[in-house]
Structure 1
Amino acid sequence: VPRWGAVLLVVGLPLAVGCASWLNAAYPAVRHYDLTIKTTDAIPPAYKNTPLTLGVLADMHLGRIVTAPRLVRAMDMLAPYKPDAVLYLGDMLDDHILLDVEAVAAALTRVQPRLGHWAVLGNHEYISGPIKNSLDILQRSGMQVLRDQWHVLDDVLVLAGRDDRSKPAFTGSPRKSLPEILADLPPEYKKLPLAVLDHQPYFLDEARTAGAVLEISGHTHYGQLWPFHWVVENMYENPHGLLSKKGMYSLVSAGTGAWGPPMRNTARPEVLVVKIHFVEAAE
């Protein structure tokens, strides 16, 4: 009996952990964040008592293993919150093989944000194939890609979408700095709060120096599988969740999909609902 008990422990425990990790990866959780942001500009009447609601997805890794039905599940979880805009934080693609672009586009239509679907690139958009192909897939799916570019959301928030830090390794050219990205921002928008979308949360101090009040990132997966969460905790100032420091929020998603084996046991996959409440600040 002790011998059979040992066999069951050696075989059964990893099997149970593996099954639980697979189920955990398949069913995202909705995470809610309420952030208060000060602005020196006049708050538009629509936002004086109503927050700007952002839906956030990251790190789906769509391809041969994580397929469009996983994205449908995530979008259906987000839809009831009626976000004003949906943000995609990179690594939405894992490879271009067997990727059903029409099914991905159909999944996006399950949420109809009045301010659009906005994406930035991650390292896997480069790894998965020619970057022009990744851009084409994202755009055909209905995402507007900010590649070292800015966009003003409803005259209330500036989005600065950064190209991924891996760009130089794949293209031989550097990504733009935040001051370079914002150099042509019209004067009437310079007082608006700045939110930076950057796939990898390496450069929080750079965002703070540029005046950002919020940076939203993904990439870390919070390790995805034990014990790698200890690794990312030592690599990043904010490996997961919300950090408020020196006047800036850093928000890092654990990701909505999975990379490699579709298994997770360090954190649930996430769909974020971020409500930004604007308050007027003195000059």
Structure 2
Amino acid sequence: MRDRLGKTLAALAVALVVTASAALVVPAPAPARTATTSRSAEPTYVQQVRTIGRSVRGREIRAWYRGDPAATRVLVVLGQMHGDEPAGRETALWLIRNLRPAAGTGIWVLPTMNPDGRVRHTRKNAHGVDLNRNWPTSGWTRTSRGDRYYGGRRPASEPETRAMMRFLAEVRPHYIASIHQPLRGIGRSSTGRDWQARLARNLGLPLKSFGVGNPSGTVSPTLTGWFNQRYAGTATTIEYGPHPTTRFRTVRAGRGIARAAGVF
């Protein structure tokens, strides 16, 4: 009898201890909603680099992307087409390193599409072709190989031109900024006049008409002429002066182009 009573009392004591311990357990407070920001609330943002083709000498032509993978507004910045015009490449490199596009937008940046010319510091590619006269339009004409603006044996004869054509056909950007030197101006065209006006204002450059000598009534055999004839977006030539300052060819030009396109 005593053994049974002792066991009962012991069990009761254990139950009281467990109950008391449970009463002392206090749930941790839920974290305040304002303490952290949900990942899903942030704009989607990616960074990537890809090789879109190779030059005559086999050098890579590379494109960097920054922004939303499902962007509804896309800007392409081509820093250099002529190897002896280096300033635009600096703009492109600054954009790659510093720009984070606005939500829902994106930017593709190509420092150069003429890596052979850049290495040799020559206007033309390794075949001696002016890549900005090699585009397949009605204005392409055959000239002598020694001509400064020699456009190749046939339209789109050069691997650099074909690589860029494939890339633009895939990306279908809303805006293209093709940077050159040293004529100091923003190229006029029949499309994208508001965009051109914003570029002129942001960069402090005048609007100009840059003729390339193609026959009257034809489309210039340039990147901008080819793209504007073929696609809904607008490609524009930006000509820096002969000696733009470091700040102009980096911060001012980079931000100014991005803001004109509405991606910054």
TM-score by length of structure 2 reads 0.30
TM-score by length of structure 1 reads 0.29
Larger Rg: 2
